[in-house]
């Protein structure tokens, strides 16, 4: 089934906001990404948010739905799949063939590799022979994979791990206030209290069903819950100074473990190119250098697999968590410009930019305060006010799936691509760099998805999709029963080659 087109309330396909930064691209790729998207290429899903009590419809996981569990088990057992019909085909024969048999391993192994801030198209900035090999020998999303909103690191990594939108897995931002516990109870990156992390990440699914998992720096993986104890032998404490080579070599060493101890699922995480992206923006030579470095790590991974004769058995899925866009001093919005008669106390603000989150005290009417802010922004006194859209959270576009959680602030401001919001001019140095976190409809926020392995066709190109699909894709490869998630069974069936 084709993924639903994003429609507005009048049923008209909205225009995807153009990127303000166009990356250098090879000549043969320019026509693909510089022309407007056609209806066939539009992949934004506009289904309403999934609630905890929703039922199973149209093959989509709705939480607590037994009917979906049955379908998932059937798919796992019989390898049902319908390939993307890029080559055409006839009845009785799959257009892309069938899954290839394992040669040395007795069960599937998946390595999930995240390159933080790897904007879609970065790999065309330089020669990337190893990423190109994955594209040639596997499946690639063109043009890119869509992050969940907000397009930030922690929400997106945990969405990939759980298959849930942030409203349902609880990590709704990089900074969170828990309304029920009070404003003093705050989540920040590095907080490992299990209460913040809802849903079931894939490493828990793996160990709960009797297999071994190993994580190397994946947000949320250090949280100990149930059978997942974050064993130091298979779960690395985050340390950004660990060389990338050491990370790759550790994962490869897991494959040398005897049967029964060898992990079936592993993660790898690289901070690049996000770190230089923030400092320089997406078009600086430092980005090119970072991309080349990440490509060399993919090459190191390939080399290690080949030495072990496992290059055709192990599935590698390479992803990013979000894209990147340039921002600069002439694209600033300051709350102090609202004037002396309407001030937003700093203690009401959870986060500023690109998603402004305002949580007034309970005694303050959030709806009335939102109205005052909206009128002030429309007054013409606030510079760049037209680049800030202010919402009550329940009025956010349904396609964002970002309202059904008490952890989401009552008032949400969405800053336009490339703009930055701060409280006062004295708060932020006027510098140029890069940022993410914007509306996930922007092309600049898209990231990469490339997958290579026995159940992926060689050279297949697929439409863009939201990263909540990854969890169920991986559990299907591993032959596991997935926990409730927001992915779609149709996506898995369309992408994985059926077993003969």
Catalytic residues: 153
3-state secondary structure the chain: CCCCCCCCCCCCCCCCCCCCCCCCCCHHHHHHHHCCCCHHHCCCCCCCCCCCCCCCECCECCCCCHHHHHHHHHHHHHCCCCCCCCCCCCCCCCCCCCCCCCCCCCCCEEEEEEECCCECCHHHCCCCHHHHHHHHHCEEECCCEECCCCCCHHHHHHHHHHCCCHHHHCCCCCCEEECCCEEEEEECCCCCCHHHCCCCCHHHHHHHCCCCEEEECCCCCCCCECCECCCCCCEECCCCCCCHHHHHHHHHHHCCCCCCCCCCEEEEEECCCHHHHHHHCCCCHHHHHHHHHHHHHHHHHHHHHHHCCCCCCEEEEEECCCCCEEECCCCEEEHHHHCCCCCCCHHHEEECCCEEEECCCCCCCHHHHHHHHHHHHCCCCCCCHHHEEEEEHHHCCHHHCCCCCCCCCCEEEEECCCCEEECCCCCCCCCCEEECCCCCCCHHHCECEEEECCCCCCCEEECCCEHHHHHHHHHHHHCCCCCCCCCEHHHHHHHCCCCC
């Amino acid at each position: 089934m084709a993924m639903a087109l994003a429609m507005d309330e009048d049923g008209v396909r909205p225009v995807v906001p153009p990127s303000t930064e166009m990356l250098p691209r090879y000549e043969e790729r320019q026509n693909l990404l510089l022309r407007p998207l056609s209806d066939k290429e539009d992949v934004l899903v506009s289904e309403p948010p999934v609630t905890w009590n929703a039922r199973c419809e149209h093959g989509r996981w709705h939480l607590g739905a037994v009917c979906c569990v049955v379908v998932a088990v059937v798919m796992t057992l019989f390898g049902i799949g319908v390939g993307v019909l890029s080559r055409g085909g006839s009845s009785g024969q799959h257009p892309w063939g069938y899954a290839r048999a394992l040669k040395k391993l007795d069960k599937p192994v998946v390595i999930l590799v995240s390159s933080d801030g790897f904007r879609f198209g970065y790999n065309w900035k330089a020669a990337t022979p190893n990423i190109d090999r994955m594209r040639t020998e596997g499946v690639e999303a063109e043009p890119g994979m869509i992050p969940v909103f907000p397009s930030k690191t922690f929400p997106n990594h945990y969405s990939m791990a759980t298959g849930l939108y942030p409203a349902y897995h609880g990590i709704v931002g990089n900074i969170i206030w828990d309304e029920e516990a009070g404003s003093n109870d705050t989540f920040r990156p590095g907080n490992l209290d299990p209460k913040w992390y809802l849903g079931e990440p894939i490493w828990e699914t793996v160990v709960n069903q009797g297999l071994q998992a190993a994580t190397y720096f994946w947000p949320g993986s250090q949280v100990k819950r149930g059978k997942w104890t974050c064993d130091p032998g298979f779960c690395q404490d985050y340390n950004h100074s660990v060389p990338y080579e050491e990370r790759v070599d550790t994962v490869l060493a897991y494959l040398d473990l005897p049967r029964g101890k060898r992990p079936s699922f592993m993660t790898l995480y690289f901070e690049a190119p996000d770190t230089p992206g923030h400092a320089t923006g997406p078009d600086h030579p430092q980005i090119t250098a970072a991309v080349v470095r990440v490509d060399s790590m993919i090459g190191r991974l390939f080399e290690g697999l080949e030495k072990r004769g496992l290059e055709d058995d192990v599935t590698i899925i390479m992803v990013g968590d979000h894209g990147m866009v340039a921002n600069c001093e002439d694209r600033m919005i300051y709350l102090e410009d609202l004037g002396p008669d309407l001030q937003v106390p700093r203690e009401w603000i959870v986060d500023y930019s690109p998603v402004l989150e305002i949580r007034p005290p309970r005694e303050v009417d959030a709806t009335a305060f939102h109205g005052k802010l909206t009128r002030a922004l429309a007054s013409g006194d606030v510079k760049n006010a037209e680049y800030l859209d202010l919402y009550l959270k329940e009025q956010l576009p349904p396609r964002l799936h970002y309202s059904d959680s008490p952890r989401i602030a009552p008032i949400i401001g969405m800053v336009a691509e490339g703009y930055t919001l701060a409280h006062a001019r004295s708060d932020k140095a006027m510098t140029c760099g890069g940022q993410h976190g914007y509306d996930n409809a922007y092309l600049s926020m898209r990231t990469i998805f490339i997958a290579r392995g026995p159940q992926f066709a060689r050279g297949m190109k697929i439409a863009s999709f939201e990263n909540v699909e990854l969890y169920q894709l991986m559990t299907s490869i591993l032959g596991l029963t997935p926990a409730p998630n927001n992915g779609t069974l149709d996506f898995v069936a369309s992408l994985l080659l059926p077993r003969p």
